[in-house]
Structures are given as structure tokens and as C-alpha cells.
Structure 1
Amino acid sequence: MGERWQAVDDYIADKLLGADDALAATLSNNEKQGLPPIDVSAAQGKMLFLLAQIAGANRILEVGTLGGYSTIWLARALPDDGRLVTLELEPHHARVARENLERAGVSDKVDIRIGSAADSLGAMAKGDPFDFVFIDADKQSNAHYVAEAIRLGRSGTTIVVDNVVREGGVLEADSDDERIVGTRALFDMLSADPRLDATAVQTVGAKKWDGFVLARVR
């Protein structure tokens, strides 16, 4: 079944996305530099691009840069005066991301901040709100990251969280996997927080069986 999922993703990318030299070069550079191959798929990247545009985003926050693949998709969704702040724990990943963003021609729109995402978020004063937030970092902290996204957002801010199904692992109430524990805590938080409207969508494809949380600040 996994091969068929990959084939359908390839079909979607061929029909609806086409070739993209900058994104292909980003994935190639990530591999050469030893980054883990955990970027969103091409179809998912285009989904993020469209969601950010639909939200009319002028300011975007990304938690988890890796090599900048999703960052490029999101930066492309911004208007000329738009800005994107992306948070990355690993300095090596951030250096690779800077190379990729420069090659893709979007580095002028992106501010990469290195360090613990919790620390970076905590240091941000509430100023001009973020219109769109994409969270794809350590799953243990997802509930905290969403709470910070609410604080730094506004009514109408869109929040997207990746990897929330984990091949069905989210159902394992007795799991000792910190990623599953953190994901279940995220769902508990979403179900209890009156400031959010939220749902989750399962996905299959090149990234196997997983899913996204889609939420909007009331």
C-alpha cells in the first residue's frame, strides 16, 4: 500500500505542481548535509502555501525550520512586504536552511532564530500578530507551542500542526513514546481551550500515514 501512496503523491505533484528547481535543490542539499528526510511532501508544501494565501497572511511563524523546505513554500505565499519568523534548535540545520532560502530567492523575507523554540517564543513580546502559524518541531511541546501561537496571534489566526496521527499511535493511551504522549496532550488542549476552533485531518502518501491539526483562533 505504501508504494501506491507514494505513486499517488507523485501523480499529484506531476499534475498540479510541476518541476521546481529551487525546491529540488533544497532537498538535495539537505541530504548532502546530513539532515533527516522529514520535510513535508511537495503536495503538503503546496497545501501550506495555499492555506497561508487563503488566510491572507502577512506575518507567518514557523516552529521547526529543518532545512527550510516548508519555509520556502510559506515564504512564497507572502506578499512583497510580508515577513516569516522561523525557529530552529540546531545551528547546522539553520545554516543549511539559510543556503536554501538564499538559493530560492526568499531569504529577505525570513528571520531564522536559533535555539530552543520554547525560549525563542518566550522571548517574543506580543506585538504585530502572526496571521499564520505552522508547527513542525518536537512533538512533546506541541500544546505549549499552540498556546504561544494563540498569545502571539489574533482572532482569525490560522494554526497548522504536523504529525498528529503518527500511523495511529495517537490512539495509544498507555504509550511511553514522548511524541505520542505530546500529541495526545495537544488533542486534550485543543478540546478544552475555548479560544480555538479545531479539527484534524488524516493523510496518507509519501509521508506514510499521519495527519495535520487545523485550527483557528476565535
Structure 2
Amino acid sequence: MGERWQAVDDYIAGKLLGDDDALATTLAYNAQEGLPPIDVSAAQGKVLFLLAQMAGAQRILEVGTLGGYSTIWLARALPEGGSLVTLELEAHHARIAQANLETAGLAGKVDIRVGPAVDSLRAMTDEAPFDFVFIDADKQSNVRYVEEAIRLGRPGTTIIVDNVVREGGVLDADSDDERIVGTRALFDMLSANPRLDATAIQTVGAKGWDGFVLARVL
């Protein structure tokens, strides 16, 4: 089944996305530098781009930069004068992302901050509000990241959290996998938080069976 999922993603990309030298170069450089191939797919990147544009986002926050592939998609959605702050734990990843953003001509719109994301988020009070938040980092901290996204957002802020299905692992209440435990805690938090209106969508494709949360701050 996975081969069919990949083939459909390739079909979508061929019909609707086309070739993109900057994104292809980014993925090639990430692989060359030993980064894990866990970026969003091209089709998912375009979803982020379109959602950020539909939200009219002028200020975007990303938690989890990796090599900057999703960062490029999001930065491209910004209008003239827009800005993006992206948080990355690993200095090596941040250096690669910076190089990729420079190659893509987007370095002037993006501020990469290195260190534990929770610490970076706590220090960003004066920079609120953000219009759009994409969270794709360590899953065990997702509750904290969403809480911070609410604090740093405004009514109407869009929040996307990636990798929330985990090939159905989210159903396993007895799992000792910290990523699944963190994801289940996220769903508990979303269901109880009166400041969020949220849903989640399952996805299949080049990245396997997974899904994302789509939420709006009230």
C-alpha cells in the first residue's frame, strides 16, 4: 500500500506543484549533511503554504526547523514585510537551515533561534501575537508548545500540529513510547481547552500513515 501512497503523492506533485529547484536543493543538502528524512512531503508543504495564506498570516511561528524545508514553504506564504520565527534545538540543524534559506532567497524573512523551544517560547512574550503557528518538534512537549502558541497568539490564530496519528499508535493507551504518550496528552488537552476549536485529519502518502491537528484560537 505504501508504494501506492507514494505514487499518488508523486502524481499530485507532478500535476499541481511542479519542479522547485530551491526545495530540491534543500532536501539534497539535508541528506548530504545527515539530517533524518522527516520533513513534510511536498504536498503537505503546499498545504502549509496555502493555509498560512488563507489565514492572512503576517507573523508565523514554527517550532522545529530541522533543515528548513517546511520553513521555506511557510516563508513563501508571507506578504511583503511579513516575518517568521523558527525554533530549533540542534545548532547543526540550524546552520543547515540557514544555508537553505539563503539559497532560497528567504533568509531576510526568517529568524532561526537555537535552544530548547520551551525556553525560547517563554522569552517571546513581547513578540506576540503570531497569526499562524506550525508545531513539528518533540512530541512529548506538544502540550507545552500548544499552550505557548495560545499565549503568543490571538483570537483567530491558526495552530497546526504535525504527526498526531503515528500509524494508529495514538489509539494505544498503554504505550510507553513517549511520542505516543505526548500525542495522547495533546488530544486530552485539546478536548478540554476552552480557548481552542480543533480537529485532526488522518493523512497517507510519501510519509506513511499519519495526520495533523488543525486548531483555531478563540
CA distance in 1, matches of 2:28, 2:8: 22
Counterpart residue number, 1:64: 64
The one-letter code sitting in structure 2 at the alignment partner of 1:164 is V
The one-letter code sitting in structure 2 at the alignment partner of 1:76 is R
Counterpart residue number, 2:191: 191
1:111 CA drift (Å): 0.2
1:127 CA drift (Å): 3.8
| 1:1-218 paired onto structure 2 within 5 Å | 1-218=1-218
1:122 CA drift (Å): 1.0
Number of residue equivalences: 218
CA contact (8 A) 1:126 1:151 kept: no
1:128 CA drift (Å): 3.6
Range with bigger deviation, 116-125 or 164-173: 116-125
CA distance in 2, matches of 1:128, 1:39: 27
CA distance in 2, matches of 1:125, 1:153: 10
Three-state SS of the structure 1 residue aligned to 2:125 is coil
CA distance in 1, matches of 2:204, 2:127: 38
Could you list the structure 1 runs, at least 4 aligned residues long, displaced by more than 2 angstroms after superposition.
Answer: none
CA distance in 1, matches of 2:105, 2:79: 14
CA distance in 1, matches of 2:32, 2:126: 38
The one-letter code sitting in structure 2 at the alignment partner of 1:22 is A
Q: What per-residue deviation string (whole Å, max 9, x for no partner) do you get for residues 86-118 of structure 1?
A: 000000000000000000001100000000001
CA distance in 1, matches of 2:59, 2:216: 15
CA distance in 2, matches of 1:147, 1:14: 38
CA distance in 2, matches of 1:126, 1:4: 47
The one-letter code sitting in structure 1 at the alignment partner of 2:104 is A
The one-letter code sitting in structure 1 at the alignment partner of 2:84 is L
CA distance in 2, matches of 1:189, 1:152: 17
1:126 CA drift (Å): 4.2
The one-letter code sitting in structure 2 at the alignment partner of 1:153 is G
Three-state SS of the structure 1 residue aligned to 2:134 is strand
Q: What percent of counterpart residues are identical? A: 82
CA distance in 2, matches of 1:48, 1:198: 16
The one-letter code sitting in structure 2 at the alignment partner of 1:202 is Q
In the alignment, structure 1 segments of 5+ residues that lack a partner are: none
The one-letter code sitting in structure 1 at the alignment partner of 2:157 is T
Three-state SS of the structure 1 residue aligned to 2:51 is helix
1:209 CA drift (Å): 0.1
CA distance in 2, matches of 1:122, 1:103: 31
CA contact (8 A) 1:63 1:135 kept: yes
Three-state SS of the structure 1 residue aligned to 2:145 is helix
The one-letter code sitting in structure 2 at the alignment partner of 1:4 is R
Three-state SS of the structure 2 residue aligned to 1:204 is strand
